[in-house]
């Protein structure tokens, strides 16, 4: 096994562990942190695939922005951590079954990948992959890129306005 294979298996294990932990935890903040672990592991897998631009976007957009939006949503909603009756993740049997299912799926995927033949190598990536993507994005897709940025800004302002309205309504009650 080469170092790349070991790094792949460790990052894949971290991504799967983060995803399973997110499903098993009861505290929503801990769930978001395990989701961040999954996002960062996937970014590491992108680096192994020589997709550095996609890895940086994964870290900036998902691990950063989406996680912050989730934390804001948690803070803006009325979440009571002391409601333990409604927060269940199943007993030991459910956890054991989930662990067995994840292990069986992992072994099946591993066995399938080991016997898979990809054939000839694909076309080579350019050496300056991020520069090529940037030139392509800002030359051919400038208008859609700007429309998406304005749309995201409007969504952010709308979320702030809605959060302010909810805050005023809660004071009246």
Q: Is 44 exposed, middle or buried (0-12, 13-18, 19+ CB in 10 A)?
A: buried
pLDDT value of residue 166? 59
HSE of 155, CA atoms in CB hemisphere, 13 A: 7
Q: What is the pLDDT of residues 75-113, one digit of tens each?
A: 777 665 555 555 556 678 888 888 898 889 889 988 888
Per-residue burial over 131-157, b if 16 or more Cβ lie within 10 Å, else e, is eebeeeeeeeeeeeeeeeeeeeeeeee
Taking residue 22's Cβ as centre, other Cβ atoms within 10 Å add up to 18
pLDDT value of residue 80? 59
Taking residue 169's Cβ as centre, other Cβ atoms within 10 Å add up to 9
Across the chain, what does the average pLDDT equal? 80
The answer on pLDDT for 173 being more than 50 is no
d(CA 100, CA 110): 15
Q: What is the pLDDT of residues 113-158, one digit of tens each?
A: 888 776 666 566 667 777 887 888 888 888 888 898 899 889 888 8
Compute the residue count for the chain: 173
């Amino acid at each position: 096994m080469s170092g790349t294979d070991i790094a792949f298996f460790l990052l894949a294990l971290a991504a799967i562990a983060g995803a399973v932990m997110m499903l098993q935890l009861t505290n929503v903040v801990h769930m978001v942190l395990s989701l961040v672990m999954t996002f960062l592991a996937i970014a590491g897998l992108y680096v192994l695939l020589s997709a550095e631009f996609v890895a940086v976007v994964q870290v900036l957009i998902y691990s950063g922005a989406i996680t912050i939006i989730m934390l804001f949503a948690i803070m803006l909603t009325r979440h009571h951590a002391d409601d333990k009756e409604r927060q269940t993740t199943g007993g030991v049997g459910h956890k054991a079954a989930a662990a067995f299912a994840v292990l069986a799926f992992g072994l099946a995927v591993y066995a399938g990948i080991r016997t898979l033949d990809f054939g000839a190598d694909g076309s080579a990536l350019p050496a300056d992959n991020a520069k090529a993507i940037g030139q392509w994005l800002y030359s051919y897709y400038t208008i859609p890129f700007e429309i998406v940025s304005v749309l995201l800004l409007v969504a952010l302002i709308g979320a702030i306005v809605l959060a302010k309205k909810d805050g005023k309504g809660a004071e009246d009650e």
